[in-house]
DNA sequence: TGCCTCTTTTGACCTAAGTCAATTCAGGAG
DNA sequence: CTCCTGAATTGACTTAGGTCAAAAGAGGCA
């Protein structure tokens, strides 16, 4: 996810995004379908109205999950979107989902004469940088168990919907290890 | 570092930064001095003209190095700068250094009527997000030795100037381990 | 030249987490 | 209900990397 928990009630989108709303299309996404694909150009960003997504990178046949996206989160691959190059990761629906899609052309169009929108994007990215740096830091300073407990604490509801193997991949550990951690904690 | 290797020859700054140049102040920084401090508001970004910096986070008396900044790199704490909140990390000169400082007020002033500058910042941040995601990914998919080799390959010159203990911290390992990795490789 | 301090190296031992392989469990399709 | 398939658990064993403590280098400077 790029942004965690935007406070949206359909009409309660962030001010800066309102001008984009006329261009946005609501779409149903089937479980297992991709919104962004590693190797292909990412030409949208989206807001999750319903469902769960995972973002992952594939190397040597192996998937590494870098994040999850839940209801109320904005997501995209900023590197691909803003540099106009192929995406370095895949974003896949883990459940049937409903999203609000903002096509790239419209975003870029709107961006040209809309300073609040630019500011909004900058803040979003700056906050995401912080999220990533914190994760990097916690990966070194905390044990797998501590990281799992922390995840439970920050995302108690959402985490229940995600298979153990995916959570393990996100935490950077094996499924066996997470299984044992859960056993120990119960 | 926020940006790696800007192609600067004093006058070869990125187009978008030129309007900021009149506000920029060149300053000498003594070894050991801070440009940004964890817990304090970050009110600048800077370009390294000479010297080396390290960025680190402190928890429980322990420092964790999140990155180095070399000649030609831009750096700041974007989270603090753009949200106007205390910095989550410290940026310290590892050697005597010379930097070009862009004060926050001037940046924010210039940002208001300068779309190319906004675009430039967005690209910078999007690229840094990618750098961080790649690091996070490599921390799980590669061994300490592979990560060290890769660092050697991408920063062969710069790395020579940095004490072993700092490199180890950056790689997320102990100094003893890095010492052994070096021994094995020689 | 010699002393002090900081950095790096080396050795012995420990532990968190991975690997592999065999079960067990759970949910959907007939 | 029963079968099948993918997910989760469990056990036995291995390993990358950490910890602690001591020794060896390597400047800087009086």
The burial class, CB within 10 Å (0-12 / 13-18 / 19+), for B62 is exposed
3-state secondary structure chain A: CCECCCCCCCCCCCHHHHHHCCCCEEEEECCCCEEECCCCECCEEEEEEECCEEEEEEECCEEEEEEEECCCCEECCHHHHHHCCECCCEEEECCCEEEEEEEHHHHHHHHCCCHHHHHHHHHHHHHHHHHHHHHHHHHHHCCHHHHHHHHHHHCCCHHHHCCHHHHHHHHCCCHHHHHHHHHHHC
Sign of the CA dihedral with A39 first, then A40, A46, and A48 last: negative
Residue of B nearest to A133 (CA): B132
Number of other residues whose CB lies within 10 A of the CB of residue A185: 10
pLDDT in tens, chain B (186 residues): 777 666 665 557 788 888 888 889 999 999 999 999 999 999 999 999 999 999 999 988 889 999 999 999 999 999 999 999 999 999 999 999 999 999 999 999 988 888 899 999 999 999 999 999 999 999 999 999 999 999 999 999 889 989 999 999 999 999 999 999 999 998
Q: Which residues are bridge partners to A171 per DSSP?
A: none
Residues A161-185: what's their mean pLDDT? 96
With cut-offs at 50, 70 and 90, classify the pLDDT of residue A111.
Answer: confident
Q: Which residues are bridge partners to B103 per DSSP?
A: B44
- Using a 7 Å CB cut-off, which residues contact strand C? A 143-145, 172-174, 176-177; B 163-165, 175-176, 178-180, 182-183
Where do the structural domains in chain B lie, given as residue ranges? 1-111
Q: Which residues are bridge partners to A52 per DSSP?
A: none
Q: Specify the pTM.
A: 0.93
The pLDDT, as a whole number, for residue B21 is: 87
Closest by Cα among A66, A32, A26, A33 to A49:
A26
Sign of the CA dihedral with B173 first, then B128, B37, and B93 last: positive
Q: Which nucleotides of D are covered by protein (CB under 7 A)?
A: 7-12, 16-21
B165 CA to C7 C1', in Å?
A: 8
Q: What is the DSSP letter of B1?
A: -
Fold of B1-111: Jelly Rolls (2.60.120)
Measured between alpha carbons, how far apart are the two ends of chain B, in Å?
Answer: 29
Q: What is the DSSP letter of B98?
A: E
Ramachandran angles phi, psi of A5, nearest 5°: 40, 75
d(CA A73, CA A35): 14
Greatest pairwise CA separation for chain B in angstroms: 56
Contacts of B122 in chain A (CB under 8 A): 82, 118, 121-122, 125
Q: Which CATH superfamily is domain A1-112 in?
A: Jelly Rolls (2.60.120.10)
């Amino acid at each position: 996810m790029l942004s965690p928990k935007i406070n949206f009630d359909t009409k309660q989108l962030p001010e800066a995004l309102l001008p984009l709303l006329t261009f946005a299309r609501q779409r149903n996404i089937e479980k297992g379908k991709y919104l962004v694909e590693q190797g292909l150009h990412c030409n949208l960003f989206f807001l999750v109205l319903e469902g769960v997504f995972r973002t992952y990178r594939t190397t040597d046949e192996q998937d590494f999950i870098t994040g999850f996206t839940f209801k109320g989160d904005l997501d995209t691959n900023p590197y691909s979107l803003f540099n106009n190059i192929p995406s370095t990761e895949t974003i896949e629906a883990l459940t049937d989902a409903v999203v609000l899609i903002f096509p790239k052309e419209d975003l870029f169009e709107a961006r040209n004469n809309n300073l609040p929108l630019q500011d909004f994007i900058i803040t979003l990215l700056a906050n995401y940088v912080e999220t990533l740096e914190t994760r990097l830091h916690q990966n070194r300073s905390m044990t797998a168990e501590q990281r799992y407990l922390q995840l439970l604490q920050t995302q108690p509801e959402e985490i229940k919907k995600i298979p153990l193997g995916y959570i393990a991949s996100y935490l950077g550990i094996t499924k066996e290890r997470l299984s044992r951690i859960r056993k120990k904690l119960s």
